[in-house]
Structure 1
Amino acid sequence: MLDSVLPETTDATAEEATGADGRPTAGPSEFGLLGLPRPLVSALARQGITAPFPIQRATIPDILSGSDVLGRGQTGSGKTLAFGLPTLARVAGERARPGRPRAVILVPTRELALQVHDALEPLGRGLSLRMRTVVGGMSMGRQIDALRRGVEIVVATPGRLTDLIEQGECALDDVRVTVLDEADHMCDLGFFPVVTALLEQTPADGQRLLFSATLDRDVDKLVRRFLTDPVTHAIAPETSPVDTMEHHVLQVTRDDKFPITAEIANRDGKTIMFVRTQHGVDRLVKQLARVGVRAGGLHGGKRQNQRTRILSEFREGAVNVLVCTDVAARGIHVDDVSLVLHVDPPQDPKSYLHRGGRTARAGERGTVMTLVLPNERRSTESMTRQAGIRPFRLKATPGHPRVAEVAGAQPPSGEEVPVWEPAPLNSVRRRRDGDDRSAGRRPRRFRGRGRHEGGEHPRSGGERSYGDRQDRPGRRDGVPAFGESRDGARGGGRPYREGGRDNRGGHAEPREAGHRNDRRGRRPFQNGGAANRHGH
């Protein structure tokens, strides 16, 4: 049994105190009292983490005991360490065979996979655990090499993990712990059949952990089918907004929309702006540069290495404004984001809460603002009501003192600056054997399949490859519709499927809701596979 080879746990007592921010703190042994091994407690202490968050305090003992766990908590509540720490402890002490990981953590997007890996990999070193991300848009050859050497924990998106299983490079027979993080978002992206097929390949007596913001529809089906007598921990109501968020709805005219956006973008502090389409992201970044505001753009049309560098430089403060789409930003955790601006209103309450969750994380305070055109007022009011939000409302104009007071908005310089892009990496391509294909290239036999890759699904909600049409004649330059399908703007082309190559050289973002990635008649696994991943 794994329990017989767990590293030594701590047994010191914890002394609680109150920190300067009013949050309870504790001695470095409080995690030890939860049953975590000493190397993990020491690694946490070196990072300055000494007091568990409520969801960690609630779930860690149950996971260590081997129980299936169903966890629900608001964004920024500490879910990654809640499942990650006990998972590390559960698989410690036994080396994985080549291509047979001991634990699998499934996440919906590449960025979230990288963040989970970055949070857990340093902690696992003290337990001699090897960890690897398995996601699309990155070198499959390197991932295969790592699996052949053996890794205890795989952090994966469903599409790429399925690819490697089909090639015979990975098997889930030895998996003792399976984690589904952000299960609701995975199901929203259409991954329910794929996740089901993957779970069916794990041992029936293995431990399953499911963490989700909501527990409805397909998530509930996963719970009933794969979790055995799960212990449920709900830290916050399903749809409650974070208490430390301040919500504002700014009613604007079409002519004033961009000037107000530019003033907010020119504020001090980190700001994330959401628009509906990839084309809208690129256009807003260029328009902000024309008035003197440097911003980075993040969407699925960019290569993975570009996305990673943009996020890195946003974290480090090289650029303070990040313009992104829903799918690309899902799961992003950046400290000190003080304002989230919905340039395009979200399409449903869940998207509103997930977007807003990029700020006010882990007890910090933040502001969420939404720009609303006249024809969007009714739908936005309905959405905020369903989300349980009671925002402050304001008819805003450029230079409005209330916007300056709440958001720190200030007029931009008006002097054009270059469109900001992260510094390129000098990389050398190598052919297979040390296979280092550039990010985004696929093995030859997989090209043309058109399958989604890297966790960003075939039918995501709301984002399209091209977005809205170009500015129409007679419209003022600098007053875009940013992909506002509600305002009559048309999509400019057929959405690309994730995993395919677009004619700009990058991976396209997932399809819109309602589109299917039709692969009828194919079986997802060659060897004793489960039902077709798309349910056919």
Structure 2
Amino acid sequence: MTTFVDPSTFPSLFDSSAEPSAESAPAVEAESTPEVTFEDLGLPSRLVRALAREGITTPFEIQAATVPDALAGRDVLGRGQTGSGKTLAFGLPVLARVALGGRAEPHHPKALILVPTRELAMQVADALMPLGKPLGVFIKTAVGGVPYDRQIDSLRRGVEIIVATPGRLGDLINRGVCSLDKVEITVLDEADQMADMGFLPEVTELLSKTPSDSQRLLFSATLDKDVDSLVKRFMTDPVTHSTAPPVATVSTMDHHMLLIPPQDKFPVTASIAARKGRTIIFARTQMGVDRLVEQLAAVGVRAGALHGGKTQRARTRTLAEFKEGRTNVLVATDVAARGIHVDGISLVLHVDPPKDPKDYLHRAGRTARAGESGAVATLVLPKQRRTTLGMLEKAGVNPAQTRVRAGDAALTELVGAQEPSGVPVVEEPEPPRRSEGGRGRRFGGGGGGDRGPRRFDSDRGPRRFDGERPRRFDGPREDRPRRFDGPREGGQGTGAAAGGTGGGDHRFTGDRRPNWRSRDERPRDDRPRDDRPSGGGERPHRRPARTH
């Protein structure tokens, strides 16, 4: 009781001057904001210093909530909006735990971070590597689209943390070069997306290979039925931290439903794409993405295409150009874009309205990140209006509806649209390849690590491989396992391609190399299919010498 009657506790109420109380309130608030530091969360001092060197001094809300429980060894279930700092929320506890136990044994990583896409894996690794280096923690990605050899070599030397997509990790395990029986902590990032992409069986199998008493952290934008099945099976008494409801991601954005006639769809799209500022455009299919990029280039708008059918090399180059501002427009599918973490995206445009409210939330989450403002616009044809409104209602969005046509001033006012230049974009030439032929690198040349000392880049007679043994190509390899089921018959491949290889087994004709695409240019994706091409996986080898 004395606490409440002591006059010393009420000076500002009885003082005639209001200034002291006005100053005292902000002072308390100012002290409470930086009160929680990374050191207060229980992180090792070396890790705190590494964060400071990267300019990271104050934890985000999701980090402050989850890190202490994760450091205490609890299983953690986290939900936070895109751009809320989830990567460090799980990455910091993983680094802290792994650093305590010394180096990993060969082929036995100590921590596993599972992600749905290649891009997300690389971005997670890029965020953690500068922090792991001072701790002596080695981090490696295991994703499709890149050669196996470097991943296998890293596992052979010992990797503390492996950041992987389910398909490639499962293949490395099947090859006997990776084992999860020594994993101490496992992270599932974007768990709902992995479920949506059909990775749930692969994820379940991989988790079952980790020790049952190991720690598990699961982070997801939404916690629906599929994710809940993983929680019930693999997590023990998890503590749940949710920094925002599922619709909070879009509450800080401006949402526009642009009602357009069918014939105006592309002109409206082109004028919006020509706006100033960084823009992501979503299309439903890979073919739709490629077609739209070509159409935009024809009217003077340079855009990059991103989808699962692109090679890793092409996807990396496209993302780099977008991040560096060389391209202001990125046209993408849902699957590819969920791994994008790029600041400064001011507009998300749906040329094809999503059917699922979760897809809308994921798409919209590319803008208005970390407190920034942004806008989301959806092009809606008359026949799509009712279904789109129903989807938006489920997503918790009440958009402003505007009827527009190409050239309307309202487009400029709402989303900054402007007329494209009309001058076709001249595509920059591809970077020169290391080999003069269609392969990605010279056979037996420097670099690559796994290639032999000899070169085989001549079609002359003395060196022929007529089926005596499988031909070994030592250039860059596909992200799919190869089968070596024995030599092929010399009679195969007399044309441009042999049958039964899915169109990917091209042959030389005479002494001239055809204008073929290299392995690095062939499409592949991250779907959970054992990472093998549908028609087999043998490597092409040189056709027999002509006898006429």
State the TM-score, normalized to the length of structure 1.
Answer: 0.78
| Alignment partners' CA distance in 1, 2:167 and 2:479 | 15
| Alignment partners' CA distance in 2, 1:368 and 1:433 | 46
| Contact 2:170/2:530 (8 A) holds in 1 | no
| Alignment partners' CA distance in 1, 2:484 and 2:312 | 18
Matched with 2:483 is: 445
Point out 4+ residue stretches in structure 1 off by more than 4 angstroms. 22-25, 420-427, 429-433, 500-505, 516-519
Q: Is 1:292–2:297 an aligned residue pair? A: no
| Alignment partners' CA distance in 1, 2:385 and 2:113 | 40
Per-residue deviation, 1:147: 0.4
User: Which residue of the other structure, out of 367, 377, 387, is the alignment partner of 1:359?
Assistant: 367
Unmatched runs of 5 consecutive residues or more in structure 1: 1-16, 448-495, 520-536
Superposition map of 1:114-513 within 5 A: 114-419=122-427, 423=431, 426=434, 428-429=441-442, 434=450, 437-438=475-476, 440-445=478-483, 505-509=521-525
| Contact 1:241/1:387 (8 A) holds in 2 | no
User: Which residue of the other structure, out of 24, 31, 56, is the alignment partner of 2:63?
Assistant: 56
- In the superposition, relative to structure 1, how do residues 409 and 232 fare at CA in structure 2: closer, same or farther (>3 Å)? same
Superposition map of 1:81-100 within 5 A: 81-93=88-100, 94-100=102-108
State the TM-score, normalized to the length of structure 2.
Answer: 0.77
| Alignment partners' CA distance in 1, 2:334 and 2:317 | 18
| Contact 1:341/1:369 (8 A) holds in 2 | yes
Matched residue SS, 1:331: coil
Per-residue deviation, 1:163: 0.3
| Contact 1:104/1:156 (8 A) holds in 2 | yes
| Alignment partners' CA distance in 1, 2:221 and 2:187 | 15
- In the superposition, relative to structure 1, how do residues 331 and 422 fare at CA in structure 2: closer, same or farther (>3 Å)? farther
| Alignment partners' CA distance in 1, 2:125 and 2:355 | 30
Per-residue deviation, 1:239: 3.9
Per-residue deviation, 1:433: 5.8
Matched residue SS, 2:38: helix
| Contact 1:108/1:182 (8 A) holds in 2 | yes
Which shows bigger deviation, 264-273 or 428-437?
428-437
Per-residue deviation, 1:399: 2.1
Per-residue deviation, 1:327: 0.9
Identity of aligned residues (%): 61
| Contact 2:115/2:121 (8 A) holds in 1 | yes
Per-residue deviation, 1:341: 0.3
Per-residue deviation, 1:215: 1.4
| Alignment partners' CA distance in 2, 1:126 and 1:441 | 31
| Contact 1:304/1:440 (8 A) holds in 2 | no
Per-residue deviation, 1:414: 1.0
- In the superposition, relative to structure 1, how do residues 24 and 188 fare at CA in structure 2: closer, same or farther (>3 Å)? farther
Matched residue SS, 1:30: coil
| Contact 2:171/2:530 (8 A) holds in 1 | no
Q: Which amino acid aligns with 2:253?
A: M
Offset from partner CA, 1:128-165 (integer Å, 9 cap, x none): 10000000111111100010010100000011000010
Per-residue deviation, 1:283: 1.1
Q: Which amino acid aligns with 2:450?
A: G
| Contact 2:168/2:530 (8 A) holds in 1 | no
Aligned length: 445
Per-residue deviation, 1:438: 2.5
Per-residue deviation, 1:430: 5.4
Per-residue deviation, 1:112: 0.6
| Contact 1:304/1:439 (8 A) holds in 2 | no
| Contact 1:313/1:422 (8 A) holds in 2 | no
| Alignment partners' CA distance in 2, 1:501 and 1:137 | 18
Q: Is 1:69–2:76 an aligned residue pair? A: yes
Matched residue SS, 1:33: coil
Which structure has more relative contact order (CA 8 Å, sep 6+)? It is 1
- In the superposition, relative to structure 1, how do residues 172 and 344 fare at CA in structure 2: closer, same or farther (>3 Å)? same
RMSD: 2.7
- In the superposition, relative to structure 1, how do residues 284 and 179 fare at CA in structure 2: closer, same or farther (>3 Å)? same
Offset from partner CA, 1:81-100 (integer Å, 9 cap, x none): 00001110010031000010
| Contact 1:25/1:51 (8 A) holds in 2 | no
Per-residue deviation, 1:437: 4.7
Per-residue deviation, 1:331: 2.1
- In the superposition, relative to structure 1, how do residues 365 and 205 fare at CA in structure 2: closer, same or farther (>3 Å)? same
Matched with 2:49 is: 42
Offset from partner CA, 1:313-368 (integer Å, 9 cap, x none): 10000110001111111121001001000011112100000011111111111100
Offset from partner CA, 1:148-185 (integer Å, 9 cap, x none): 01010000001100001011100011100000001111
Per-residue deviation, 1:240: 3.7
